[in-house]
Amino acid sequence: MSGTWISTRAWLLMLPLLAVMIAVIGWPLVDTVRLSFTDAKLVGTEGSFVGTENFTRMLTGSNFWRALVITTLFAIVSVAAEMVLGVLAALLLNQQFRGRTALRALMILPWALPTVVNATLWRLIYNPEYGSLNAALTQLGLLDSYRSWLGEPGSALIALIVADCWKNFPLVALIALAALQAVPRDITAASLVDGAGPFNRFRFVSMPYLAGPLLVALVLRTIEAFKVFDIIWVMTRGGPANSTRTLSILVYQEAFSFQRAGSGASLALIVTLLVTLLAVAYAALLRKAAGAA
């Protein structure tokens, strides 16, 4: 069979997928770009061309910058905590102890719990009047009076990060555990014979196997965290006093609550650009890591 026929056949087989992708991703993306230069409303007016007005208004207002800081904070703190807790849990699960298989099975539960159910659950736990966190801390004598964890700007973001970490660190743990189990037994044994301590064993024996999978998990989790919407919408809707209003929440409010499709689209494009930059930077990092290995 000739090469041209094979690649023609390949394109024909890809046609349905490509057609669907153009309809539901390609066209909307192009239309978002068009809308970002107009003053279109979500319903009713088509809008007219306004140049870069939307972008300048968004970039000179304080809302965008504040949301960017909150999003970055959320992403860095939650992903860092998930990585550390995940690796620690994986190191533990890689030890021999009774009930290890059962504990490993449990780790799948937070991951399987739907995000909205997780958010709802933690919202109930943090409830200012009847929540179990207030009850537990008071009964243990650690708290004098009930607090509104999600109602105070000082604690709302941290409370959200805890809820997000609880759901996502087990996934990192499972990925890290799979990597740890790929470390050949005889290398571990040899390092023991050579008298390597636990820290050096982790640094020089386990780490080379962990680095690749962890880097991939880090990339994907950071991008996910940067796009965060669901957990915040269900738990705080960006409040109190906009202290948990991330970029996605801001776009939602602009485009759908205030129905300003044009400026909402321009904001969405800025977010997309930031996510793309993040992805490109990480891709370079991954390639460098692959080259070094």
Give which of 126, 122, 125, 133 is closest to 163, Cα–Cα. Answer: 122
**CB-based contact 135:154 (threshold 8 Å):** no
Q: Pick the piece of the chain touching another protein (CB under 8 A) from 51-59, 153-161, 202-210, 266-274.
A: 266-274
Q: How many residues touch another protein (CB under 8 A)?
A: 101
The CA distances from residue 44 to 36, 47, 128, 265, 268, in Å, are 17, 9, 42, 16, 21
The CA distances from residue 170 to 107, 215, 221, 254, 275, in Å, are 5, 16, 12, 34, 24
CB of 292 to another protein, least distance (A): 21
Helix, strand, or coil (residue 58): helix
Helix, strand, or coil (residue 41): coil
- Which of 128, 213, 239, 240 touches another protein (CB under 8 A)? 213
Q: What angle do CA 107, 108, 113 make, to 5 degrees?
A: 115
Q: Which of residues 58-117 bind another protein (CB under 8 A)?
A: 89, 92, 95-100, 103, 105-117
Give CA torsion, residues 194, 198, 203, 208, to 10 deg. 80
- Residue with smaller CB distance to another protein, 161 or 269: 269
- Residue with smaller CB distance to another protein, 4 or 60: 4
Q: Pick the piece of the chain touching another protein (CB under 8 A) from 51-59, 61-69, 149-157, 230-238.
A: 230-238
Give which of 10, 43, 25 is closest to 261, Cα–Cα. Answer: 43
**Would you say how long the chain is, in residues?**
293
**CB-based contact 246:67 (threshold 8 Å):** yes
Question: Residue 5 interacts with another protein (CB under 8 A)?
Answer: no
CB of 211 to another protein, least distance (A): 14
- Which of 81, 87, 171, 210 touches another protein (CB under 8 A)? 171
**CB-based contact 123:148 (threshold 8 Å):** no
- Which of 120, 148, 242, 243 touches another protein (CB under 8 A)? 120
DSSP 8-state class, residue 152: S
Question: Residue 125 interacts with another protein (CB under 8 A)?
Answer: yes
Helix, strand, or coil (residue 68): helix
For 258, the token pair is 């205030």
Q: Pick the piece of the chain touching another protein (CB under 8 A) from 47-55, 60-68, 153-161, 173-181.
A: 173-181
**CB-based contact 265:32 (threshold 8 Å):** yes
- Which of 149, 234, 244, 245 touches another protein (CB under 8 A)? 234
Q: x-or-dash pattern for another protein, window 9-38, by CB under 8 A?
A: xxx-xx-xxx-xx--xx-xxx-xx--x---
Q: x-or-dash pattern for another protein, window 182-211, by CB under 8 A?
A: ---x--xx--x-------------------
Question: Residue 44 interacts with another protein (CB under 8 A)?
Answer: no
- Residue with smaller CB distance to another protein, 62 or 130: 130
- Residue with smaller CB distance to another protein, 130 or 199: 130
Residue 72: other Cβ atoms inside 10 A: 15
Q: Pick the piece of the chain touching another protein (CB under 8 A) from 49-57, 147-155, 202-210, 271-279.
A: 271-279
CB of 190 to another protein, least distance (A): 13
- Residue with smaller CB distance to another protein, 157 or 234: 234
